[in-house]
Chains A and B, each alone.
Chain A
Amino acid sequence: MKNFKISKNMKDNVITYGIVIAAYVIMQILVSTGHVSSLMQGLLVPLCVYVILAVSLNLTVGILGELSLGHAGFMCVGAFAGAFFSKCMKNVITFGLIRFVLAILIGAVAAGIIGFLIGMPVLRLRGDYLAIVTLAFGEIIKSIINVLYIGKDSRGLHFSTKDSLSLGLEPEGDVIINGAQGITGTPKDSTFTIGIILIILTLIIVLNLIHSRDGRAIMSIRDNLIAAESIGINITKYKLMAFSISAALAGVAGVLYSHNLNSLMATPKNFGYNMSIMILVFVVLGGIGNIRGSIISAVVLTLLPELLRGLSNYRMLIYSVVLIVMMLFNWSPKLIDLRKRYSLKRLLKKNREVQ
């Protein structure tokens, strides 16, 4: 029985990795033969970003079972930490890859630390209260970044929370983070290959965590907190562990995001609660706790508005309708019943015929 279970997990994981690698190989072949539109090429890195975000949030929502609406905040921390580092080191470390790897590490560590610090007090809240507090933290992070001014000149770094004039920079000094105007001129280091490698790393971390002893402890907290506590599982430790790993991975996604665009600003659109909710949509639509589902729904929902561009002004309207319909289709108990009764049977029959 035990063997069977492991092999099933293995099979499941292999399929997940397989999908990612297959997608990579197919895209690389198509790109090199020139069969991919500029739009798709431009979307490759963002797709990686959203996949990582969805998988990492699934760790909090699906595996730990806590609702977090502040995921974009951690992404924001990672993005700014990474971009800040890259911009400072632009002329010091000229070899792009090394600089970028360091930036990713810095982004991950920064977001992980913030996740840990936030997680410590708030993870004792439950349900919707935790959701609102994480939302609050996400908004606070965004607000703070929007009033942060950091400049660099020969005397070192200067900080201010008022405006770039009060930094008192020397004339040749450089404003690195310019408040709401953010960071401009981040080197464009993100590539699809690095994105895919990061996705695979994320999957390795998350999938191995799920199937480890720690992962089972985390899931026991999700399934029954009191029972888990009564058998001696250290609730705080495991909650914090899952939450900080999830935050650190979001930070990685943030670094990837910030090195894909020339200008980085913390707007309500990209790092506000709207984005946190969007990531949650990926997770819920793909199936809570289902890692592969998160990957697929992140890809589908990121592509959808771009594919709908032909509809011009009706684009976002249709998008919202599709979202509602997909949710009903995926989650409504009645429709699930219907699906089981009809389409599955037919699919099974077809499968048998094929076999």
Chain B
Amino acid sequence: MSFISYLINGISLGSVYAIIALGYTMVYGIAKMLNFAHGDVIMVGGFTIFFAVSMQGLPAFVGVLLAVILCTLLGITIEYIAYRPLRQAASSLAVLITAIGVSYFLQNIALLIFGANTKAFTSVVTIPAVKLANDQIIISGETIVTIISCIVIMIGLSLFINKTKAGQAMLAVSEDKGAAQLMGINVNGTISLTFAIGSALAAIAGMLLCSAYPSLTPYTGSMPGIKAFVAAVFGGIGSIPGALIGGIVLGIIEILGKAYISSQMADAIVFMVLIVVLLVKPTGILGRKIQEKV
């Protein structure tokens, strides 16, 4: 019986990773950059909702809406100021480093505004928990909402990319920026749009992360951000269904590793499995094979 509840805990942790990983993978797939500041945008989303709902007493949906708007604007601004000037830089590492700078910046500005004290986040989810098998197995409302949102977002994103003009433009940009430009696609606009969507997803992820684990500090986003990055790589970075699968698998491995092997080594176990998977399948579970040419 406890195995099943570990499994459910794993899925609920994994679904949080998955929803963060969706944003990661989206930006990576199109802009080809690891946005290390993604986790911190999540934190900004969490704080916005906390400020609006818990401190100003606004209704939850208004708070979420505000967070989505703010994060979207933030994402576009970050891209414009810190990433765009480096898009043509000699090395793709340059933009990775500015992303780290942006991450430090967001953490420290939140520290100055909100202080270091932990804030307890009031869950915005009002669905009651599902209890099965004589209360032995409990699936929390947050888990249900997170999994459903994951699936909805995944389907929505896939449809958006494959069926709309803007989505097709994104695909084109991800294939070849130069060629896309020649075909009349506004590359800068498309990448801005990617960041806008990625950051809006970060706001939603922030809401779900903080609802599931209701403790909010300026550093809340950084570790889940890294884990989600691992999840995205796990599933094959750039692949949208891969992010979902990667996230959930990662969550399950982490919980089962903690339960049956060692609670101190949970992260080490996760990373170990990641290494093994990548050695067998070098581009992740659903990643595309890279063909190299001279």
Across the interface, do B101 and A320 meet the contact criterion of CB distance under 8 Å?
A: yes
User: Which of B85, B97, B104, B233 is the one whose CB lies under 8 Å from A284?
Assistant: B97
Residue B82 at the A interface, CB < 8 A?
Answer: yes
Q: Which residues of B264-294 are within 8 A (CB) of A? A: 264-265, 267-268, 271-272, 274-275, 278-279, 282-284, 290, 292-294
Across the interface, do A125 and B271 meet the contact criterion of CB distance under 8 Å?
A: no
What CA separation (Å) do A144 and B102 show in the bound complex?
A: 31
Residue A5 at the B interface, CB < 8 A?
Answer: no
Across the interface, do A327 and B230 meet the contact criterion of CB distance under 8 Å?
A: no
Residue A126 at the B interface, CB < 8 A?
Answer: yes
Q: Which residues of A209-253 are within 8 A (CB) of B? A: 224-227, 230
Given A324-B98, A332-B85, also A284-B91 (CB < 8 A)? yes
Residue A30 at the B interface, CB < 8 A?
Answer: no
Residue B204 at the A interface, CB < 8 A?
Answer: no
Residue B93 at the A interface, CB < 8 A?
Answer: yes
B interface: dominant SS: helix
Task: Write the B203-244 contact mask toward A (1 if CB under 8 angstroms, else 0).
Answer: 000000000000000000000001001100100010000000
Across the interface, do A227 and B279 meet the contact criterion of CB distance under 8 Å?
A: no
User: Which of B82, B226, B267, B290 is the one whose CB lies under 8 Å from A126?
Assistant: B290
Task: Give the total number of A-B pairs whose CB atoms are below 8 A apart.
Answer: 128
A interface: dominant SS: helix
Task: List, in ascending order, chain A residues with CB within 8 A of B237's CB.
Answer: 128
Across the interface, do B233 and A128 meet the contact criterion of CB distance under 8 Å?
A: yes
Residue A35 at the B interface, CB < 8 A?
Answer: no
What CA separation (Å) do A224 and B294 show in the bound complex?
A: 7
Task: List, in ascending order, chain A residues with CB within 8 A of B283's CB.
Answer: 129
Q: Which residue of A lies closest to B105 (CB)?
A: A320
Task: List, in ascending order, chain A residues with CB within 8 A of B85's CB.
Answer: 328, 332-335
What CA separation (Å) do A319 and B103 show in the bound complex?
A: 12
Across the interface, do B93 and A140 meet the contact criterion of CB distance under 8 Å?
A: no
Q: Which of A128, A146, A284, A330 neighbours the largest number of chain B CB atoms within 10 Å of its CB?
A: A128
Q: Can you list the 9 inter-chain pairs with the closest CB atoms, starting with the nearest?
A: A136-B271, A320-B104, A143-B268, A331-B94, A324-B101, A320-B105, A332-B85, A323-B101, A317-B108
> 14 A-B contacts, Cβ less than 8 Å apart?
A125-B278, A129-B233, A132-B230, A132-B278, A136-B272, A281-B97, A317-B108, A320-B104, A320-B105, A321-B105, A324-B98, A328-B98, A331-B89, A333-B90
**B residues at A contact (CB < 8 Å):** 28, 34, 36, 82, 85-86, 88-91, 93-94, 96-98, 100-102, 104-105, 108-109, 112, 226, 229-230, 233, 237, 262, 264-265, 267-268, 271-272, 274-275, 278-279, 282-284, 290, 292-294
Known A226-B294, A331-B86; 4 more pairs at CB < 8 Å: A132-B229, A161-B262, A323-B101, A333-B88
**A residues at B contact (CB < 8 Å):** 61, 67, 121-122, 124-126, 128-129, 131-133, 135-137, 139-140, 143-144, 146-147, 161, 224-227, 230, 273, 277, 280-281, 284-285, 288, 313-314, 316-317, 319-321, 323-324, 327-328, 330-335
